[in-house]
Amino acid sequence: MKENLIHYRTCVCNTNYHMVWSVKYRRKILSAEVEAYLQELVQEIAEDKGFTVHLFECGEGDHVHC
C-alpha cells in the first residue's frame, strides 16, 4: 500500500472515498447519455481538484477504470 501514499511537505496520507448514490425502489434512472456526462464531469472535477478516480461504476456490474 505504500504506492498509494501521497507525500506533502508536512505529512503523508492515503485518503479513499466510496460514494454511493441510490434511488428509491432501485429504479434505473441514468440513461447512457446521463451516465457518460456524469463520468466526464467527475473526471473533470478530479483533475481540477488534484485527485484520482480509480473506479467509476454505474448500475449493476458496469464499471470503468480511470
pLDDT in tens, 15-65: 888 877 776 776 677 778 888 898 999 999 999 988 888 888 876 654 454
Full-model pTM: 0.61
- Which residues have C-beta within 8 Å of that of residue 54, sequence separation ≥ 6? 65, 66
Q: What is the pLDDT of residue 32?
A: 82
CA 58, chain centre distance (Å): 10
